[in-house]
């Protein structure tokens, strides 16, 4: 992988979304799902309002999310999400996580930028193994044995399952945000400042 080349953002960045987000009033089921997806008083993201075109999918996305306290640290979770979305060119989702979760994950500005560039220098060895595993999953849908051994050195089986699942989920979210051509959220960060 060419670590110096930044990812391409989705082809429809800067243009009108392919499907407009659903505006209120929402049905009771959609309103409940949107409420549960966001912190109190925060309006729902464009992604969730767009998924509201199909309430069943919106509900499944909400129920299948892994942003609750899990077996992995917030830092590892966000490294997986940020690197996966950057590799997919999903600036929408990368920007939301960079803006709203990077601080809680303890990511420095250099580390945040490295999730886009692929530079592993700012990271500790265990995090380098994690990021390399994410790159391998993206490139070949598997993790080579040597990387698996490095990844498993400091992680439990439960953590390994969660990390691989996160990568898969955020490939799906990246496909959605890119294919739907979602408008970037105003408060979200961008790949390039």
The verdict on domain 74-180 having CATH code 1.20.1290.10 is yes
CA distances from 162 to 12, 66, 74, 171 (A): 31, 8, 12, 14
Token pair recorded at residue 25: 């009033």
**pLDDT value for 3:** 47
**Is 0.85 surpassed by the pTM of this model?**
yes
**pLDDT value for 192:** 85
Cis peptide before 12 (omega within 30 of 0): no
Q: What is the pLDDT of residues 130-179, one digit of tens each?
A: 999 999 999 999 999 999 999 999 999 999 999 999 999 999 999 999 99
Q: Which phi and psi angles does 94 have, rounded to 5°? A: -60, -45
**pLDDT value for 67:** 83
Tell the residue number behind the tokens 């909400």, with chain if given.
62
Say how many C-beta atoms besides its own lie within 10 A of residue 117's C-beta: 17
CATH 1.20.1290.10 residue window(s) in the chain:
74-180
**pLDDT value for 14:** 60
Asked if residues 167 and 80 have their Cβ atoms less than 8 Å apart, the reply is yes
Q: Which phi and psi angles does 35 have, rounded to 5°? A: -60, -40
**C-alpha to C-alpha distance for 188 and 100, rounded to whole angstroms:** 8
**C-alpha to C-alpha distance for 22 and 49, rounded to whole angstroms:** 5
One digit per residue, the tens of pLDDT, for the chain of length 193 reads 444 444 555 544 567 999 999 999 999 999 999 999 998 999 999 999 999 999 999 999 999 888 888 999 999 999 999 999 999 999 999 999 999 999 999 999 999 999 999 999 999 999 999 999 999 999 999 999 999 999 999 999 999 999 999 999 999 999 999 999 999 999 999 998 6
Question: What letter would DSSP give residue 90?
Answer: -
Closest alpha carbon to 45 in 25, 78, 21, 64: 21
The alpha-helical segments, DSSP class H, found in 88-156 are 91-100, 109-117, 125-140, 145-152
**pLDDT value for 193:** 64
């Amino acid at each position: 992988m060419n670590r110096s080349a930044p990812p391409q953002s989705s082809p429809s960045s800067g243009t009108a979304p392919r499907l407009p987000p659903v505006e209120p009033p929402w049905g009771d089921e959609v309103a409940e799902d949107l409420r549960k997806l966001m912190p109190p008083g925060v309006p729902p993201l464009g992604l969730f309002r767009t998924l509201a075109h199909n309430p069943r999918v919106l509900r499944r996305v909400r129920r299948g999310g892994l942003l609750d306290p899990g077996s992995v640290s917030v830092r590892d979770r966000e490294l997986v999400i940020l690197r996966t979305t950057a590799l997919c060119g999903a600036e929408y989702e990368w920007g939301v996580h960079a803006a709203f979760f990077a601080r809680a994950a303890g990511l420095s500005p250099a580390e945040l930028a490295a999730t886009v560039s692929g530079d592993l220098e700012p990271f500790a060895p265990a995090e380098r193994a994690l990021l390399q595993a994410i790159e391998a999953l993206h490139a070949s849908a598997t993790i080579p044995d040597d990387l698996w051994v490095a990844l498993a050195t400091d992680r439990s089986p439960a953590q390994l399952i969660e990390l691989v699942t996160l990568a898969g989920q955020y490939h799906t979210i990246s496909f959605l945000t890119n294919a739907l051509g979602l408008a970037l959220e105003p408060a979200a960060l961008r790949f390039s400042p």
